[in-house]
Amino acid sequence: MVPQLLVEASAKYPYQGIWHNNEFTPYPLLLTRVVKLSNTLHTLGIGPGTVVGVLDANSQRFLELHYALGFLGAIMHPLNFQLSLNDLEYTIRQAQDSWLIVGPEFSSLADALKSLVPQHITMPTQYEALVAEGNEKFPDLPLKESDPFSIGFTTGTSGRPRAVLYRHRDILLSSWQVVHHLALHDSLAKPTSEDTMLCLIPFAHAHGWGIPFIAPYIGASLALSQKLSPADQVEMIQKRHVSWANMVPSQLYRLLENLPEPLGNTLKVLVGGSALTHGLAKKAQNLGIQLAVIYGGADQLASAICAPPGPHTLLPSETDTLPTQRLMPLPGVEIQIRDDNLIPINPKAGVVGEIWVKSLWLPKEYLHDQDATQKSFREGWFATGDLGIGYEDGTVAVVDRLQEAIKSGGEWIAVNLLETILSELDEIDQVAILAQPDPKWGERPVAVVQTRHFLEPETIIAYLMNQVEAGRIPKFWIPDHIFYIKEMPLTSVGKIHKQNLASKLDMLSQEPRD
């Protein structure tokens, strides 16, 4: 059960705990607050099976609710406040929330949700009053590891957000296997009890990739804050001696922009959510950041992580035609590459196909969505919607999203690889490859680039021609057009919003900015 983590951390690591803004709460005190809170929440009628929505950024109180609600057998629904109001209301209906616990920055948004969830607890006033009123007797409820713990939602970038149910055992197994994998393969982002961890992934997204459960499990301290600009992140890293963090590539990019000087290999970063380009990885390494890449999603949790040394390298050689990193499935995970007929592809063939995942913690369905369930969950396997290549050593390279991949003249164009090669140009900060309809070839690629300095399209094309001559890409991969943008639009999880970008193509310039 999830609460047992905090009980053990309190006994084993009494001097470690949570940094929230400028205050430190050691694990024993955190446990006391959690127990008192759980008891008063129980007197309000919150118990086994009660769905409680939490509308807050990453705060200590949000972290405490993971454990307080876990003690009660209630089901947490971390709300993604970056969704549109319409989609947010949709997720509340799907999850069937009966309570809403609201952070101080979200009172106006919570007011708009009153008709759906009339029972609210506000932070900090009401929340702290509940903590103060509670007793320190551990709740005694008949709970088991197969009980539901939380409801998570996909980000909804390709349609309505979809809901999955996580059990206590699912959350713990997936989180622990991330730790075990990074340790077994001596990863550059191996977390230890000496680390202070900074969670930049919102708790609404697979519980911040399991960090609320990983930190107490290994006895590390955890730094949290509701609002962290890139400059604030740098300040917190320096002030709290943060040595481990998780983030998506766009967050890493903004962090690097704000670093005043190299970190001297003092920061380990687990990055995921979208492809880590070659250029961004090189910039991070040059500034003393040690990287590892994780692959997964809300509907499958963690599945694979890059695993150096040996062939599982983070970066390709100059003549390598493979994507940026090859990933090793976590312990307890099976991965297959399947063709269009859902037949597993022999890894020796090196052919691109869809990635299918099976794990000990895989959800069984999309809640209240039978059509999507039948399409994606089959005989214990999950169809990820990602394209990949399998290898004889058991690793897999994620090539692209199936819905974003480009098929030109019947041949796949590996968009992620093309993006990572373009990112090697120093003048390019961010790049997105999009598909445009073509009457002859079906689809053709175009590139949208965010540049740091003046860069002619002819220079970009010439660079890509050099990559063709070096054998890294086929000639037909070269984009038909280069578009320039001042700043990339981002999704709620910090990925480049390609659907938004595609809708703006007609307004973008094909002339480089000064």
Q: Over the range 418-432, which residues count as b (16 or more CB within 10 Å of their CB) and which as e?
A: bbbbbbbbeebbbbb
Residue 292: which of 183, 213, 134, 168 has the closest Cα?
A: 183
Q: Over the range 241-263, which residues count as b (16 or more CB within 10 Å of their CB) and which as e?
A: ebbbbbbbbbbbbebbeebeeeb
Tokens 């659907």 locate to: 499
Please tell me the distance from the alpha carbon of residue 312 to that of residue 126, in angstroms, as a whole number.
50
90, HSE (Cβ side, Cα atoms, 13 Å): 17
410-414 — which CB contacts under 8 Å span 24+ positions?
A: 410/442, 411/474, 411/476, 412/352, 412/387, 413/445, 413/476, 413/477, 414/323, 414/352, 414/387, 414/477
Query: Is residue 471 assigned to a domain?
Result: yes
Query: Is residue 260 assigned to a domain?
Result: no
Query: Is residue 226 assigned to a domain?
Result: no
Residue 292, beta-bridge partner list: 270
> In total, how many domains does the chain have?
2
Query: Is residue 93 assigned to a domain?
Result: yes
Please tell me the distance from the alpha carbon of residue 374 to that of residue 492, in angstroms, as a whole number.
27
Query: Is residue 77 assigned to a domain?
Result: yes
286 Cβ contact list (under 8 Å, min separation 6): 262
117-121 — which CB contacts under 8 Å span 24+ positions?
A: 117/53, 117/92
Please tell me the distance from the alpha carbon of residue 347 to that of residue 355, in angstroms, as a whole number.
12
The tens digit of pLDDT for each residue in 243-301 reads: 999 999 889 988 998 988 888 778 999 998 877 877 788 888 889 899 999 999 888 89
Range of the domain at 419: 406-507
CATH number at residue 433: 3.30.300.30
What are the φ and ψ backbone dihedral angles of 365, each rounded to 5 degrees? -165, 170
- State the CB neighbour count (10 A cutoff) for residue 339: 13
| DSSP labels, 98-143 | -EEEE-GGGHHHHHHTTTT---EEETTHHHHHHHHH---PPP----
Residue 405: which of 392, 388, 391 has the closest Cα?
A: 388
Write down the pTM of the prediction: 0.83
Residue 273: which of 64, 429, 497 has the closest Cα?
A: 497
Please tell me the distance from the alpha carbon of residue 35 to that of residue 130, in angstroms, as a whole number.
11
User: What is the pLDDT tens value at each position of the chain, 514 positions in all?
Assistant: 999 999 999 999 999 999 998 899 999 999 999 999 999 999 999 999 999 999 999 999 999 999 999 999 999 999 999 888 999 999 999 999 999 999 999 999 999 999 999 999 999 999 999 999 999 999 888 899 999 999 999 876 667 899 999 999 999 999 999 999 998 888 888 999 999 999 999 999 999 999 999 999 999 999 998 777 888 889 899 899 999 999 998 899 889 989 888 887 789 999 988 778 777 888 888 898 999 999 998 888 989 988 654 444 444 443 343 344 788 999 999 999 998 889 998 886 667 789 999 999 999 999 988 999 999 999 999 999 888 888 888 888 887 777 777 888 877 787 877 888 898 888 888 899 998 898 889 999 999 999 888 889 999 999 999 988 887 788 888 999 999 998 888 876 667 888 888 888 888 877 776 5
Query: Is residue 341 assigned to a domain?
Result: no
Token pair belonging to 293: 């890449």
Query: Is residue 7 assigned to a domain?
Result: no
CATH number at residue 73: 3.40.50.980
Domain stops at, among 111, 145, 166: 166
Please tell me the distance from the alpha carbon of residue 350 to that of residue 354, in angstroms, as a whole number.
13
The tens digit of pLDDT for each residue in 63-99 reads: 999 999 999 999 999 999 988 899 999 999 999 999 9
Domain stops at, among 124, 142, 166: 166
Please tell me the distance from the alpha carbon of residue 394 to that of residue 335, in angstroms, as a whole number.
9
Query: Is residue 110 assigned to a domain?
Result: yes
289, HSE (Cβ side, Cα atoms, 13 Å): 26
The answer to whether the CB of 149 falls within 8 A of the CB of 75 is yes
Domain stops at, among 166, 181, 216: 166
Residue 119, beta-bridge partner list: none
Helix (H, G, I), strand (E, B) or coil at 214: helix
The answer to whether the CB of 303 falls within 8 A of the CB of 178 is no
Handedness of CA 308, 314, 319, 323 (dihedral sign): positive
